[in-house]
Amino acid sequence: MIRPRRAIGAGMVLLAATSYGVLATLVKSAYGDGYSPAEVLAAQDLMGAAALALVDFVLARRSPDDVSLRVAARDRVALMLAGMSIGFTGAFYYLAVSAASVSLAIVLLMQSVWMSVVVEALLERRAPSLLQLLSAGLVIVGAALATNVGFGDLAIGPAGLVFGLLAAVSNTAMIWCSGHVAPAVHPIRRSALMMVGGASVVLAFAAPTLVAGFNFSVIWPWGGIIALLGTILPTFLFNFGAPLAGAGLTAIVSSAELPVAIIVATVVLGESFAPRQWSGVALIVAAIALSNLRRGD
């Protein structure tokens, strides 16, 4: 039986994953209203960064003696550089959503599961376990089924495929940085500093749009709701829920983002997803669960 604290933590992580799952459909809907990926991403990240900075400021005023809020200059720079991976993930993912269906964009983003195994093996000079290799293989097979590889026409175009895989690469970097860069710093301060780095990438990505004429009407309602579901709410839920649930249970529960994203896109946007493609999604979720079932935390 899961202890009450772990159950509460798992519930918070599930809400965060659901929030992320709904996000892509909202982004696609914003595109339908005529807004560009640069406008949507800039509205989300700048509003999200401002909200996190405000919370960080309040936290610092209420807990001035908290040593976890003290960040050395070197760690501050490292966190901002690490946060650039957040900006790249958002930019590539939103471009993938604009070039392909929400369902396939999220499937490609989930390739960060096996990419993380490769990165860990290379950087830590440690061979992956048999369980990790099996999980990575299941993710790759699941992605092949979901995107229709080997079953007739590929269900995604070249642009969507490239942007989706680039999003997975940058998401892999973000996952690694989240666990290895200045881990002793308070989660809220870490998030705020990383969002500064992410916002710098977003500003560079949105610069041509800003010069050509940024449509500020994207800020309301799309910017607010997308920032809430894509930056503010999941950041708090993950930061406070993950330590309670533990890394293994967090990884398993957070995989709910994938089916939630596809179900919402199917219901709201009318995207079609064949049974064979659903079997690919099931393989990916099973792979994530399998790779974390034996963790004791």
DSSP string, 211-272: HHH--GGGGTTHHHHHHIIIIIHHHHHHHHHHHHH-HHHHHHHHTTHHHHHHHHIIIII---
d(CA 103, CA 229): 18
Q: Is residue 111 part of a domain?
A: yes
Q: Between the CA of residue 293 and those of 6, 127, 284, 290, 297, what are the distances in Å?
A: 15, 19, 14, 5, 10
Is 205 within 8 Å of 38 (Cβ atoms)?
A: yes
In a domain, 295, yes or no: no
Each residue of 62-74: b (16+ CB within 10 Å) or e?
eeeeeeeeebeee
pLDDT for the residue numbered 260: 93
Give the per-residue pLDDT at 269. 93
Is residue 78 assigned to a domain?
Answer: yes
Count of domains observed in the chain:
1
Q: Token pair 């892999």 is at which residue?
A: 172
Which positions of the chain have pLDDT values less than 70?
1-2, 150-154, 247, 293-297
- The answer as to whether 170 is a domain residue is yes
Output the pLDDT for position 21: 92
Residue 266 lies in a domain: yes
294 in any annotated domain: no
pLDDT at 214: 86
Q: Give, to the nearest 10 degrees, the angle between helix 102-109 and helix 130-147.
A: 160
Continuous segment of H or E residues that includes residue 141: helix 130-147
Element of type H or E holding 237: helix 233-245
* Per-residue DSSP letter, 185: S
Phi, psi of 166 (to 5 degrees): -65, -35
Q: Which domain holds residue 84?
A: 4-126+157-273
* Residue 91 one-letter amino acid: A
| Residue 242 burial (CB count, 10 A) | 22
Angle, alpha carbons 14-140-239 (nearest 5°): 25
Please check whether residue 133 lies inside any domain of the structure. no
In a domain, residue 286? The reply is no
